[in-house]
Chain A
């Protein structure tokens, strides 16, 4: 049976890939009757065919009392009015709302994709920049090398300076020591000479020198008076 029915299949017998949803629903006239029915009757009965059929059917049902008009008819008329009014008034809004829900769903997914693409593009930009930076690397290294050489030179000179100062300090110390010794020797000698001289002055000599000084003073005072 499985193989005999195969020629009757009209579509593929598997689920994937899913056929796309049709863009618009089937065409209907008066919200109920498909357009295909009107097309079906058109060759034989023209444009008014289906309407004549409908009217005739309705009149037949009513006149033969196959459909009895009772209280339910009025209730039916009321509920139909309410339904048609609701559909005409809110139909477009509800459809737009459903479309909006779907659009939002698609938009979030697209946003994710675009975000990812943007991130990757900016990553590519960054990478290119890094590559350009790499080319200037040699200049950077030269500058750094110069920097370090200068630092080393400065350090060396500072240390040289320190050594020079230290040596000078030690030599100055030696010179100061020698000067001090010289000075001390001189003072000592002067004191010793003075002490010897003072010791060697006898009292006799002292008296004679004082008398001489007094005579000199008298003579001087005589000449000084004259000057005044």
Chain B
């Protein structure tokens, strides 16, 4: 198995059958299904507590109409969290490293928030394009800038997630290659590199969780503005 650095990012295929759907849906298998017991086992209790915490955190700044998005945002959060964390295991494929998948998540959701805002409260939505208290000569330039920033949001959302995860995985691969290469030449430097790798792995765990949270948080923020 001679792996190049970018084999981990290629869409998985087994005997010509694309496995991307399986890879994307696999994390759902790891979550215990809600059963009809009153007192459940530890895993189900923790899962319930976790989902309650996430949903509460996301729904506090939103008003009543925003609560319709609770299911979408919570499930998106759990989905991204699990996919990111599972991608840190060796020889696994992370679907969120693919720009196509992240854009497919970010673009429709962002567009939904924009259209909701433009439909229900058009003047308030357009009013967000001009921050309060700007001096009058700056207004045209500022409107152009704010429009650009608005239109670039889906791109930013998708690329942020892709870039963070891809960069992280790539860094792990490079540093572990360095560790292996140095092992025969200079073992002490190799050990140093492996310590760096350990720290990087811990960082990557944190980044995986944070990126998922940031994605969903930004979407809820865009929703807050437009609801």
Q: A82-B198, A82-B201, A102-B45 are in contact. Are A75 and B39 (CB under 8 A)?
A: no
Q: A82-B198, A94-B46 are in contact. Are A71 and B176 (CB under 8 A)?
A: yes
Question: Is B173 in the interface zone, CB < 8 Å from A?
Answer: yes
Q: Is the CB of A72 within 8 A of B91?
A: yes
Q: In the bound complex, what is the Cα–Cα distance between A81 and B200 (angstroms)?
A: 12
A57 surroundings in chain B (CB, below 8 A):
none
Least distance between B147 CB and chain A CB atoms (Å) = 43
Question: Is B90 in the interface zone, CB < 8 Å from A?
Answer: yes
Using C-beta atoms within 8 Å of the partner chain, give the interface range for chain B: 20 to 34
Question: Is A227 in the interface zone, CB < 8 Å from B?
Answer: no
Q: In the bound complex, what is the Cα–Cα distance between A68 and B43 (angstroms)?
A: 35
Residues 26-61 (chain B) with a chain A CB within 8 angstroms: 36-43, 45-46, 49
Q: Which of A15, A75, A105 contacts B173 (CB 8 A)?
A: A75
Q: Is the CB of A81 within 8 A of B3?
A: no
A125 surroundings in chain B (CB, below 8 A):
none
Q: Is the CB of B176 within 8 A of A74?
A: yes
Question: Is B113 in the interface zone, CB < 8 Å from A?
Answer: no
A81 surroundings in chain B (CB, below 8 A):
198, 201
A95 surroundings in chain B (CB, below 8 A):
42
Question: Is B99 in the interface zone, CB < 8 Å from A?
Answer: no
A72 surroundings in chain B (CB, below 8 A):
3, 90-91, 173, 176
Q: In the bound complex, what is the Cα–Cα distance between A101 and B197 (angstroms)?
A: 37
Q: Is the CB of A82 within 8 A of B205?
A: yes
Question: Is B98 in the interface zone, CB < 8 Å from A?
Answer: no
Question: Is A76 in the interface zone, CB < 8 Å from B?
Answer: yes
Q: In the bound complex, what is the Cα–Cα distance between A69 and B2 (angstroms)?
A: 10
Question: Is B177 in the interface zone, CB < 8 Å from A?
Answer: yes
Using C-beta atoms within 8 Å of the partner chain, give the interface range for chain A: 20 to 34
Q: In the bound complex, what is the Cα–Cα distance between A68 and B198 (angstroms)?
A: 22
B17 surroundings in chain A (CB, below 8 A):
none
- Give per-residue flags for B179-212: 1 if the beta carbon is below 8 A from chain A beta carbons, else 0: 1100000000000001001101110010000000
Q: A18-B37, A78-B194, A78-B197 are in contact. Are A71 and B45 (CB under 8 A)?
A: no
Q: In the bound complex, what is the Cα–Cα distance between A72 and B4 (angstroms)?
A: 11
Q: Is the CB of A98 within 8 A of B180?
A: no
Q: In the bound complex, what is the Cα–Cα distance between A72 and B176 (angstroms)?
A: 7
Q: Is the CB of A78 within 8 A of B176?
A: yes
Residues 81-107 (chain B) with a chain A CB within 8 angstroms: 88-91
Q: In the bound complex, what is the Cα–Cα distance between A99 and B89 (angstroms)?
A: 29
Question: Is A70 in the interface zone, CB < 8 Å from B?
Answer: yes
A75 surroundings in chain B (CB, below 8 A):
90, 172-173, 176, 197, 201
Q: Is the CB of B45 within 8 A of A68?
A: no
A79 surroundings in chain B (CB, below 8 A):
88-90, 201
Least distance between A177 CB and chain B CB atoms (Å) = 98
**3 closest residue pairs by CB, A with B:** A76-B90, A74-B176, A98-B42
Binding site for B on A (CB under 8 A): 15, 18, 21, 68-76, 78-79, 81-82, 94-95, 97-99, 101-102, 105-106
